[in-house]
Amino acid sequence: MWYLSCPNCKKKVVDEVNSICQHCNTDYQNGKYRYILSAEFADTTTSIWATMYDEIAEKILGGITADELQKM
Protein backbone atom coordinates (compact mmCIF):
# COMPACT_ATOMS: atom_id res chain seq x y z
CA MET A 1 0.00 0.00 0.00
CA TRP A 2 3.01 2.28 0.51
CA TYR A 3 6.76 2.27 0.12
CA LEU A 4 9.66 4.21 1.61
CA SER A 5 10.97 6.68 -0.95
CA CYS A 6 13.93 8.94 -1.41
CA PRO A 7 13.00 12.54 -0.52
CA ASN A 8 14.99 13.80 -3.54
CA CYS A 9 13.91 11.65 -6.50
CA LYS A 10 10.83 9.85 -5.03
CA LYS A 11 12.17 6.43 -6.11
CA LYS A 12 11.79 3.39 -3.88
CA VAL A 13 14.55 2.94 -1.31
CA VAL A 14 16.27 -0.42 -1.61
CA ASP A 15 17.60 -0.70 1.94
CA GLU A 16 15.02 0.69 4.41
CA VAL A 17 17.31 0.22 7.43
CA ASN A 18 20.21 2.26 6.04
CA SER A 19 18.01 4.47 3.80
CA ILE A 20 20.10 4.20 0.66
CA CYS A 21 18.74 5.39 -2.67
CA GLN A 22 20.40 3.60 -5.58
CA HIS A 23 19.04 6.08 -8.11
CA CYS A 24 20.54 9.19 -6.43
CA ASN A 25 23.35 7.25 -4.76
CA THR A 26 22.48 9.09 -1.54
CA ASP A 27 22.30 8.08 2.11
CA TYR A 28 19.79 9.94 4.27
CA GLN A 29 18.08 9.67 7.65
CA ASN A 30 14.40 10.37 6.91
CA GLY A 31 12.65 8.90 3.92
CA LYS A 32 9.09 9.68 2.93
CA TYR A 33 6.38 7.06 2.68
CA ARG A 34 4.43 7.24 -0.57
CA TYR A 35 1.29 5.41 -1.64
CA ILE A 36 1.09 2.83 -4.38
CA LEU A 37 -2.55 1.80 -4.53
CA SER A 38 -4.11 -0.68 -6.95
CA ALA A 39 -7.85 -0.68 -7.59
CA GLU A 40 -10.31 -2.28 -9.97
CA PHE A 41 -12.84 -0.05 -11.70
CA ALA A 42 -15.84 -1.85 -13.16
CA ASP A 43 -19.23 -1.33 -14.74
CA THR A 44 -21.74 -3.76 -16.22
CA THR A 45 -19.68 -4.37 -19.35
CA THR A 46 -16.04 -4.58 -18.29
CA SER A 47 -13.44 -3.79 -15.67
CA ILE A 48 -9.94 -2.36 -15.58
CA TRP A 49 -7.16 -2.35 -12.99
CA ALA A 50 -5.35 0.91 -12.29
CA THR A 51 -2.40 1.88 -10.11
CA MET A 52 -2.57 5.19 -8.29
CA TYR A 53 0.45 6.84 -6.78
CA ASP A 54 0.92 9.22 -3.90
CA GLU A 55 -0.98 12.41 -4.82
CA ILE A 56 -4.07 10.72 -6.31
CA ALA A 57 -4.20 7.93 -3.70
CA GLU A 58 -4.01 10.52 -0.91
CA LYS A 59 -7.05 12.34 -2.34
CA ILE A 60 -9.01 9.08 -2.62
CA LEU A 61 -8.15 8.11 0.97
CA GLY A 62 -9.45 11.37 2.39
CA GLY A 63 -6.28 13.44 2.62
CA ILE A 64 -4.36 11.12 4.97
CA THR A 65 -0.71 10.97 3.95
CA ALA A 66 1.13 7.66 3.67
CA ASP A 67 3.44 8.80 6.50
CA GLU A 68 0.42 9.32 8.80
CA LEU A 69 -1.18 6.01 7.87
CA GLN A 70 2.09 4.10 8.28
CA LYS A 71 2.45 5.50 11.83
CA MET A 72 -1.06 4.29 12.74
Read off the pLDDT of residues 55-71 as tens digits, 9 standing for 90 and up.
999 999 999 999 999 88
Domain boundaries, the chain: 2-71
pLDDT per residue as tens digits for the range 2-59 = 888 888 888 888 766 667 788 887 777 777 899 999 999 999 999 999 999 999 999 9
pLDDT of residue 46: 97
Q: Which residues pair with 5 in a beta bridge?
A: 12, 32
pLDDT for residue 23: 83
Residues with Cβ within 8 Å of 68's Cβ and at least 6 positions away in sequence, in order, are: none
Residue 16: predicted pLDDT: 62
Is domain 2-71 in CATH 1.10.4030.10, yes or no? no
- Prediction pTM value: 0.74
